[in-house]
Amino acid sequence: MKIIRRFNDSDFLPQWHMDPVLTKIFWSRGIKDPNELSYSLKNLNLPKFKDLDIALQLIVNAVWNKQNIMIVGDYDCDGATSTALAMRFFDAIDFTNICYEIPNRNIDGYGINKNIVDKAVSKNISLIITVDNGISAHEAVAYARECNIDIVITDHHLPLEELPNANAIVNPQRKDCEFASKNIAGVGVIFYLLTAVCRTLTEKGYFTARNISVPDMRSFLDLVAIGTIADVVSLDYNNRCMVQYGINLIRNNCTTNGVKELVKRSKCTLNNFTSNTISFALSPKLNAAGRIDEMKHGVECLVANDEYDAKSKAIYLDTLNTRRRELEKNFLTTASNIISNSALEDKASIVVYDKSYIAGIVGIIASKILNKYLVPTVVFAPSNEEGKIVGSARANEEFNIHDIFKYIAEQHAESVYAFGGHRTAAGITIKLDFLPEFTNLFNLLVSATPNYKEKTFITDGELPAPYINPSFARFLNYEQPWGKDFVSPEFDGRFQLIKQFVVNNLHLRLLFRLENGTEVWGMYFNYDAAKWPNLNVNFVRVVYSLDVSANREDANVSFIVRGMEPLS
């Protein structure tokens, strides 16, 4: 277990009027001014999106003339919250000529396609608005235009050199887009666009003419918070402002009954809601719909306000998530057998394929295998097209999976149908017959980059024992919207291990004694059963985060253990 500390005592530390431990935490996360820790919507970036004016005019005209509009979403949390936000907005402005479509991950693949355009034609749709997709859908967009359907793309993914021939493309990743935050999620993009639409409709007298209230656009930030955290985009200041406001909406009961029921099914109260609740409770339930069923169930839950309807939809999502966990367990067992039987443990990489796998689950399996073997991993499942397989890859930071896939695609264009993604997480579709050659080539390319098979933790150092208290734990858990590139604090320390036992055959329950004699309970999820429990160990080095049982002063503090090794 390798520990790297974000801040060394010899490093420069600014003289803020703040607790020194907190100063170290925030300074080491790139905060240069304490004002960056105060979140106000007044400080949001201006909506300097390319094509924003064109897009809002198309939408305003369609609303004013009561034309039919279709929202085309995506099957992940960002896509679901983006779609739900659009549907809630149009409901709030009393516009009923609206519908949505979301492709099936395991049948249709990603993004708007010709089948969806055909559905739009059959429904006499005049305007399609994509959310969280569309920036690479050249064929589908061209087809929509041929069918005399206007199309507005809202997306946040990297575009290719040539943009689709849409009427308007609102995407901060465009080279000619001046919007300051390139890290905004898809749900944030549609929030900005519809805020501009609302403002324009107000100026034109739309709400006065219909004698209805102008919707408070801030009320939709609950969905922006969920989608932004779930999509693991970088939490720059602009994102943190929106996320923190949205989290507070949910804490204060200002959200749909569908969201409330999802929180309840996560065994969390609204008052205790945090960004971690989204990451580890809401996101898996919503994503389960897109992985093994239809994401429409997620959208319907997010917009549900009838109490019975909200409860039934949340229960169904919970049931899907339970099923997803069962599939994941079975698939992991199969993968472990393949790895063992093929002696892959000592390889520089791991590539696994099984015809029983489902495309929506393979990314999770790849992550689990990476976490165990610490080598780049690709897991393939059958495609819905004969002779093709779809793979999902995961790797640590020292590898660039996307570039490796790009190289393979360039060298074997006849066998690679598609690829995409990011440095440490990417996807690829190949010919089934190409799998043996792909496996060898992938392993060869990975071997060119040194990989040190040691679990590495980046921590905020040792936390003095007096700080392990409810007040400090509550501040860390509830006062900041933690997420990617603004990660929640983790610490390392040496403690005496008093008790250790397995709970429900899943997790390791631990009792530690601190240097001042205080005893603190901890939970070690995903522990290594080959190493723990170890009754011969007295002292341990622990990497942990602080957990608190509730958002109140009399709450109990405990550790969430990320890693642990014996010292004696």
b/e burial code for range 96-134 (CB count within 10 A of at least 16 → b):
ebbebbbbebbebbbbbbeebbeebeeeebbbbbbbbbb
Q: Does domain 342-447 have CATH number 3.60.20.10?
A: no
Among 375, 351, 335, residue whose Cα is nearest residue 435: 351
d(CA 255, CA 253) in angstroms, rounded, equals: 6
The residues spanned by each domain of the chain are 2-32+457-566, 44-316, 342-447
Q: What one-character DSSP code corresponds to residue 57?
A: H
* Residue 532 CA: distances (Å) to CA of 3, 105, 524, 547, 566: 20, 38, 10, 22, 10
Token digits of residue 403:
């570039």
Residue 153 pairs with which residues in a beta bridge?
Answer: 130, 169
Q: Does domain 44-316 have CATH number 3.90.1640.30?
A: yes
Residues 6+ apart with CB under 8 A from 243: 224, 225, 228, 229, 235, 275, 481, 483
pLDDT at 550 exceeding the cut of 90: no
Query: Rounded mean pLDDT of 119-137?
Result: 96
Among 475, 397, 18, 26, residue whose Cα is nearest residue 237: 26
Residue with tokens 């089934």: 432
pLDDT digits (tens, 9 = 90+) for 484-511: 999 999 999 999 999 999 998 889 999 9
Other CB atoms within 10 Å distance of the CB of residue 157: 18
Query: Rounded mean pLDDT of 38-54?
Result: 96
> Residue 214 belongs to what H/E stretch?
none
Peptide bond into 376 cis (omega under 30): no
Distance of CA 42 to the CA centre of its chain: 26
- Residue 27 in contact with residue 13, Cβ under 8 Å? yes
b/e burial code for range 491-527 (CB count within 10 A of at least 16 → b):
bbbebbbeebeeeeeeebbbbbebeeeeebebbbeeb
Residue 416 pairs with which residues in a beta bridge?
Answer: 430
**One fold for both 44-316 and 342-447?**
no
> Residue 137 belongs to what H/E stretch?
none
Query: Rounded mean pLDDT of 514-522?
Result: 94
d(CA 561, CA 545) in angstroms, rounded, equals: 7
CATH architecture entry for 2-32+457-566: Beta Barrel (2.40)
* Angle, vertex CA 103, rays to CA 102 and CA 109, nearest 5: 150
Max avg pLDDT among 157-161, 448-452, 517-521: 517-521
Q: Is 367 left (phi over 0), alpha (psi -120 to 50) or beta?
A: alpha
Chain mean pLDDT for the chain:
93
Token digits of residue 254:
């200002």
pLDDT digits (tens, 9 = 90+) for 9-26: 777 889 898 999 999 999
pLDDT digits (tens, 9 = 90+) for 241-292: 999 999 999 999 999 999 999 999 998 999 999 999 999 999 999 999 999 9
pLDDT at 201 exceeding the cut of 70: yes
User: Is the Cα torsion angle 228, 230, 233, 237 positive or negative in sign?
Assistant: positive
Helix/strand/coil for 83: helix
Among 433, 384, 431, residue whose Cα is nearest residue 409: 431
Banded model confidence at residue 78, pLDDT cuts 50, 70, 90: very high
Tell me which of 31-45, 140-154, 335-349, 371-385 is least confident.
335-349
- Residue 392 in contact with residue 363, Cβ under 8 Å? yes
Token digits of residue 165:
């021939």
pLDDT at 452 exceeding the cut of 70: no
* Residue 420 CA: distances (Å) to CA of 11, 242, 273, 425, 432: 39, 28, 33, 9, 18
- Whole-number pLDDT of residue 64: 96
